[in-house]
Structure 1
Amino acid sequence: MYAAALAPAAQRRLRVRQAVVQLMSEHGFRFSMDAVAERVGCSKQTLYSQFGSKQALMRSAMLEELALATVRLDVDANDLRAGLLGFATDQLERLSDPTLVAACKLVNAEAHLYPEEARSLFTDACEKLLERLAAWLQAAMRRGQLRHDDPHMAAELLLSMISGLDFERQRFNLPYRDSDASRRQWAEFVVDAFLRAFAPAATHARDAVPSHRFRQA
């Protein structure tokens, strides 16, 4: 959906989210509410009346990012592979965004200087993404689409598989998967490997070769 098609309030939230990510890519945690207001095109007082504080504004921006990161999981819960593949490709595209990569570099470098902000950022971004994915996988387990297991561990494993080493390659200015085709190929490999690993027990039993086939007649 294009920004012009959004309601005014939604357009403002979109501009706030974009401004926060851009400013973090330039200044890390050291951006001001004045700078956000200037980029959004509103007054600082408007931001304070809507969010209350810089910390709350950052949290709102991260929750907006979370909503975008997980929207594909709700497209078709019954088509497990399609849902995971859409999520994986979206996640890879986000992780290859130069602005996001630059923001993460600065945030990592400044985390020891702003420990409270860093913890909040991790909670509102990484942990909530993990929880959202874990809940989605748990629902698939209850439907019998996946083997019953710890959904949080399965979600963390999947997120690690999706990111691979591409984020590290970008941090060290090395070639990475920077095309839709290469990201799609990796996403398919990861999702199919994950589905094989967490296939329902009945599927494993059906696919297993009966031991009697190897007995001598």
Structure 2
Amino acid sequence: MKNFLKPVVAAGLMLTASAAPMLAVPAVAQDARGVGVVSLPAVIANSNAYRTAEQQRQTTYQAQISQAEARRQQIEAQLTPLIQQFNTARQAANPDQQALQQQMAQIQQIEQAGQRELQTILAPVSLSRAYVTEQIEDRLDEAVQAAAAKRNVSLILDATSGQVVYAGAQHNLTQDVLTELNTLVPSVQITPPEGWVPREVREQQQAAAQAQQATQQQQPSGR
């Protein structure tokens, strides 16, 4: 089931810090017995482990968060007069288009450099969130299967993929999976081990290594 769940979870979270709302499933006149609907991103984001980790991260990574916020304010203070100057210049009766382009280029350059700088400062925070999410994902299959068994559901549809045409509210397994997940993963570590990289990166590295190995095996050996 992991191959089915992983792309759905990745699409739903995208390193969000806020909890996703529990999804409401539309009621229908006829039950589809044995079919369940679940919102996996909502399960993860509303899990006790994820919420607790979000709170802990504010303390553990307070230095990086404070540094990023201070730097963001500095960048905003630097950009504000430039943006005001640009807006004033372009409202002139005969604005100098070349000068406007240069001003816009300067603004964009500062914005882009600032975003890169903030991403660098917050890199440990982003890595922590990816680590937390992966630990929860590792038990998500088990939680889904346990909830399905308890509700006697043989088919589960993802409520966030757009493939659900209809489902009775009694078949919504989001809360059931959330309950099972909170039991399986009451808490997680927020600080990644030394050298840890997200699952997507590990899979890319593995694929690259396999491709390189295959290429080497296809090359004729010289004598």
Fold similarity call, TM over 0.5: no
- Larger RCO, structures 1/2 (Cα 8 Å, 6+ apart): 2
